[in-house]
Amino acid sequence: MAIFVQFAIGLIFGFGLLLSGMSDPAKVLNFLDIAGIASGTWDASLAFVMAGAIAVTFVGFKWALGRPRPLLGGRFHLPTREELDIRIISGPAIFGVGWGLAGFCPGPAFTALGFGSRAAVVFVVAMAAGMLMARWLAHRPSLSRVAAPLDPSET
């Protein structure tokens, strides 16, 4: 049952992206082009989409976290770490640079795949490669864990 609800939510999200025009990277890039404010080409519509998403998320989290458990799960999976580390800083930075260069973030990129957009295909392939590389980097043994301390008697 949960998979069908998640699928329906994904369809609603994708429809919202189509309706708002956010699956078009030019729309996103026109928002990010600050120089366009002076020339009149700046598109503020993404700010309204973001404000709507923040409002819905705020209300949704307040409602959901006020419940003893999720509707379709056994427990909430919330982060427990509070300190910042390199992954918390670098991940959003890489996301922002990719979004600014390509005009896509994951949701709109998958939506644009449905239109056969070559740019979306390139973006999704690069995103998948980046995710695989990040997973590999996170799970590779570090040198400090692999290298045994030097035994002075062996030298």
Question: Domain segments of the chain: what residues?
Answer: 2-140
pLDDT value at residue 64: 92
DSSP string, 69-135: S-TTSSS-------S--HHHHHHHHHHHHHHHHHS--HHHHHHHHTTT-HHHHHHHHHHHHHHHHHH
pLDDT value at residue 67: 93
Whether 71 and 9 have beta carbons less than 8 Å apart is answered as no
The whole-number average pLDDT for the span 35-60 is 89
% pLDDT > 70, the chain: 91
Is the pLDDT reported for residue 87 higher than 70? Answer: yes
> Dihedral through CA 62, CA 66, CA 70, CA 75, nearest 10?
110
Cα-Cα end-to-end distance for the chain: 64
Q: What six digits make up the tokens of 50?
A: 């973001």
Is the pLDDT reported for residue 152 higher than 60? Answer: no
Other Cβ atoms less than 10 A from the Cβ of 130: the count is: 13
Q: How far, in Å, CA of 17 to CA of 4, rounded?
A: 20
pLDDT digit string (tens) for 9-19?
A: 988 988 888 88
Q: How confident is the model at residue 132 (pLDDT cuts 50, 70, 90)?
A: very high
Q: How confident is the model at residue 1 (pLDDT cuts 50, 70, 90)?
A: confident
Q: What six digits make up the tokens of 29?
A: 């890039």
